[in-house]
């Protein structure tokens, strides 16, 4: 099965109204697929219809209702883009990863679905030196508050593996319209307050548009976990000044703290070399330039400029509340 050469797939998109879901739906319909998309909010069913998806209002924590929704949709594949980040609550998001994914997988199995593509993150690997490849174990021995996030990710990925065919997308830190790393996002507000410090901790980023493209392309990928991030994991001392310039924040204060060994970034060579994934924004340097364009300010030549869409803010997009650079963990 591939998204390109098997038209007419029925896709059950869990989390269709989020920042990624809203981008994924047009890509799916353009490829000839039929999309049944979920939302918890009655206010967002109209948005899903406008995107040419069939809306279903359901809470992933309601196992019975979710099972009925999947059964009625009769999908060929389930696409899991569920998050619970409106309040920045790590525990709530971890519960959704554990309980919501458990319910979604059970519903898929009961409906005879063979394939799932599920959203995960790429910063829960064990501490170490250098960007982590997919073969590196998850950091199951972490202490709180990191333990909560890692446990949620581990539960999500284990559940996804119960289907005969599964792909886990370990996304980098999302940036772009609708995310916390947007001119009107949480991290931009913190940057303007001088609350983020430019230190040694390494982050791997991915633009929301590249993340959406990967989700659709992954319909045809072989089973396994895949780091979906750009080519340039970087310490905050490199990326944070560029981010501050892009969102109109003052230069960030510096931190001389040593790198947290868990803040190591991720290696995307599997996605690039073996799966043929090519991000439109190979580096945050290029992608952050679009944030400056969104603000209609000059980029001062720090990186190439790309045209991007209007900024929209959303409370349920994928912006895992990983500790910001220089903030208390």
Task: For the chain, count helices (H), then strands (E).
Answer: 11, 11
Instruction: Tell me what pLDDT residue 85 has.
Output: 74
φ/ψ (deg, to 5) at 299: -90, -5
Is the distance from CB of 42 to CB of 17 less than 8 angstroms? no
Predicted confidence pLDDT, tens digits, the chain (329 residues):
444 456 689 999 999 999 999 999 999 999 999 999 999 999 999 999 999 999 999 999 999 999 999 999 999 999 999 998 766 677 899 999 999 999 999 999 999 999 999 999 999 999 999 999 999 999 999 999 999 999 999 999 999 999 999 999 999 999 999 999 999 999 999 999 999 999 999 999 999 999 999 999 999 999 999 999 999 999 999 999 999 999 999 999 999 999 999 999 999 999 999 999 999 999 999 999 999 887 654 433 332 222 222 222 333 334 344 456 654 33
Instruction: Kindly state whether residue 38 falls inside one of the protein's structural domains.
Output: yes
Residue 265 belongs to a domain: no
- Are the C-beta atoms of 106 and 63 separated by less than 8 Å? yes
On whether residue 100 sits in a domain, the answer given is yes
- Beta strand pairing call for 202-203 and 234-235: antiparallel
pLDDT in the model for residue 279: 98
pLDDT at 305: 25
Alpha carbons 244 and 235: distance in angstroms, whole number? 14
Kindly tell me the burial class for residue 301, based on how many C-beta atoms sit within 10 Å of its own C-beta (0-12, 13-18, 19 or more). exposed
Task: Please report whether residue 190 resides in a domain.
Answer: no
Assigned domain for 3 exists: no
Which pTM does this prediction carry?
Answer: 0.90
Judge whether 26 lies within some domain: yes
Domain with 86, as residue range(s), is 10-174+205-228
According to the model, what pLDDT value does residue 84 have? 85
* Host H or E run for residue 94: helix 90-95
Does residue 186 lie within any of the structural domains?
no
We report the CATH number of the domain holding residue 54 as: 3.40.50.720
Question: In the chain, how many domains are there?
Answer: 1
Per-residue pLDDT, 91: 86
Contact 40, 47 (CB under 8 A): no
Residue 169 lies in a domain: yes
């Amino acid at each position: 099965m591939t998204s390109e050469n098997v038209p007419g797939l029925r896709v059950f998109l869990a989390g269709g109204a989020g920042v990624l879901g809203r981008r994924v739906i047009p890509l799916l319909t353009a490829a000839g697929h039929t999309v049944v998309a979920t939302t918890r909010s009655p206010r967002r069913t109209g948005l899903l219809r406008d995107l040419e998806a069939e809306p279903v209002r359901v809470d992933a924590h309601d196992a019975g209702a979710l099972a009925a929704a999947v059964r009625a949709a009769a999908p060929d594949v389930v696409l899991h883009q569920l998050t619970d980040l409106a309040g920045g609550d790590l525990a709530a998001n971890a519960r959704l990863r554990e309980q919501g994914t458990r319910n979604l997988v059970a519903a898929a199995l009961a409906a005879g679905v063979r394939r799932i593509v599920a959203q995960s993150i790429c910063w829960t690997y064990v501490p170490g030196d250098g960007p982590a490849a997919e073969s590196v174990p998850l950091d199951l021995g972490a202490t709180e508050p990191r333990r909560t996030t890692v446990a949620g990710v581990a539960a999500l990925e284990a559940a996804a593996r119960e289907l005969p065919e599964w792909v886990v997308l370990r996304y980098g830190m999302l940036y772009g319209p609708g995310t916390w790393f947007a001119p009107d996002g949480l991290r931009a507000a913190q940057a303007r307050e001088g609350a983020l410090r430019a230190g040694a901790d390494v982050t791997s980023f991915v633009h929301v548009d590249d993340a959406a493209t990967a989700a659709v392309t992954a319909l045809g990928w072989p089973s396994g976990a895949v780091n979906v991030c750009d080519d340039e994991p970087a310490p905050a001392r490199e990326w944070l000044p560029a981010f501050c310039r892009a969102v109109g924040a003052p230069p960030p204060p510096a931190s001389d703290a040593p790198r947290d060994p868990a803040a190591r970034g991720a290696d995307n060579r599997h996605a690039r070399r073996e799966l043929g994934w090519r991000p439109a924004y190979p580096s945050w340097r290029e992608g952050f330039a679009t944030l400056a364009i969104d603000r209609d300010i000059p980029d001062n030549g720090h990186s190439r400029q790309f045209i991007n869409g209007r900024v929209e803010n959303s409370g349920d997009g994928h912006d895992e509340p990983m500790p910001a650079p220089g903030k208390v963990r």
